[in-house]
Every structure is written in structure tokens, then in C-alpha cells.
Amino acid sequence: MTYKLIILCVLAILAVVFISACSANKPKNLGITNGKFSACPSSPNCVSSQASDENHKIAPLKAHGELATVMANLKENIKQMDGSKVIKLEGAYLHAEFTSNIMRFVDDLECFYDKDNNKIEVRSASRIGYSDFSANRKRIETLRTIFEKKQ
């Protein structure tokens, strides 16, 4: 009887987590304003090349070339990554969503090509939860490896 109750509780918790993950809305703070992303929250589930603190800081991607070419290459590289979906590509800005395989959590990746400084500013953040077990940092590093190899 006790084991059945424990199993039911665990299943109920998993169902709530799954439903909340699937229903997480797109954040309102996406986009670029004067070349800047929104700041990362205090939680460790976000990285940004524009962050000043070490917990959230990650290096931008190195890039050079014409805007259309760089952004098309970036888009194609992102599309090769597991769980990715490019949502918006507008000028020097790109927004993509990454959905995890099992729990279907959605993370947002933002990229902004700063042509004058030969770099792509990046921000990757989880929509829900507190910790992401470095998933966003690993995602940026994977993208860096793929993208910079082809630059």
C-alpha cells in the first residue's frame, strides 16, 4: 500500500512537471535593444556573452563576413542541432527554441551578429526551473564548435 502511494505521488509530480514544461510560454524579454539582450536572471539556467558575472558569462562566437551569409550559416548550423527550431531570423538577430527529448523543456537561444566587432553575441536561457545542469552553456559551446569550424 505504501509503495503504491509513493509511486502515485511520484507519477503525479512528474505529470505536473511535464504539463508545466509543455505549457511554458515564450518569454516576453526576448529580443535585442540597442545591441543588448535582457540580463540573465539570478538562477544558474542562463548564459550570455553580455553577462558580467562569471556564473552567466560565456564568450561570444567569432564571426566575419557579410550579414546575410553569416546569419544563413548560423541558422543552418543551429538547425543541425538536436531539438532545435529556428523561430525568427531578422537582420542580425536570430531566435531559436531547443526542446529537450524526454521532459520537453524549452530553452531559448538568441544570437546577434555584431559585424563591427566580428562576433556573434549569444544568450541561452531555460524557460522554467532553477538549474539546467549546464545545458545552455553546453549548447553554446557545441554551436561554437560547429560554427567556428566553418568560418
What's the confidence (pLDDT) of residue 10? Answer: 54
Instruction: Please state, in angstroms and rounded to a whole number, the distance separating the CA atoms of residues 53 and 35.
Output: 19
The whole-number mean pLDDT for each consecutive block of 10 residues of the chain, a chain of 151 residues, reads: 63 47 74 96 98 98 98 98 98 98 95 98 97 96 94 77
**Distant-in-sequence, close-in-space partners of 99: CB < 8 Å, separation ≥ 6:** 83, 85, 105, 106
Q: Is the pTM of this model over 0.75?
A: yes
What's the confidence (pLDDT) of residue 13? Answer: 52
Instruction: Please state, in angstroms and rounded to a whole number, the distance separating the CA atoms of residues 101 and 89.
Output: 24
What's the confidence (pLDDT) of residue 12? Answer: 47
Give the CATH H-level superfamily of domain 2-149: Kinase associated domain 1, KA1 (3.30.310.80)
What's the confidence (pLDDT) of residue 2? Answer: 80
